[in-house]
Amino acid sequence: MVDLDAHTKKFQKELNAGTSSLVLLSVLNRSGEPMYGYQIAKMLEESAPDLPMMKQGTLYPVLRSLEDNGLLGSVVEPSVSGPPRRYYKITREGREALAEWTELWKQTRKFVDSILKG
């Protein structure tokens, strides 16, 4: 017997892995100011409450990966209400990647939609 739920979870995980970086770069590009992880997570949650596509636990590794690749920069600042916060901002390279990835996303979406529609 095929476990469709397991296949669906795997598909969703792979799909999210490819779109998370695009979404995070877009959010930070639009914000115009540095943001910390929890702030980004809450903004994503509020913008699409019925579509929980990115969990907080997956957000931080993607942010770190984007920073490791030079697409984001960060600075740690003290917080009056808890531990220090790492604020992320998009770099020039991040904006260039965002433009390229947005175009790739549009092409991919167009292709998939055309196939699904028949």
Confidence of residue 1 (pLDDT cuts 50, 70, 90): low
Q: What is the pLDDT of residue 95?
A: 98
The length of the chain, given as a count of residues: 118
CATH number of the domain where residue 47 is located = 1.10.10.10
Query: What's the confidence (pLDDT) of residue 27?
Result: 95
Q: Which residues pair with 90 in a beta bridge?
A: 72
Confidence of residue 52 (pLDDT cuts 50, 70, 90): low
The stretches of 1-118 forming alpha helices (DSSP H) are 4-31, 37-47, 56-68, 92-117
Percent of the chain predicted with pLDDT > 70: 96
> How many separate domains does the chain show?
1
Mean pLDDT of 15-29: 91
pLDDT digits (tens, 9 = 90+) for 94-107: 999 999 999 999 99
- The per-residue pLDDT for 5 is 84
What is the span of the domain harbouring residue 55?
A: 4-117
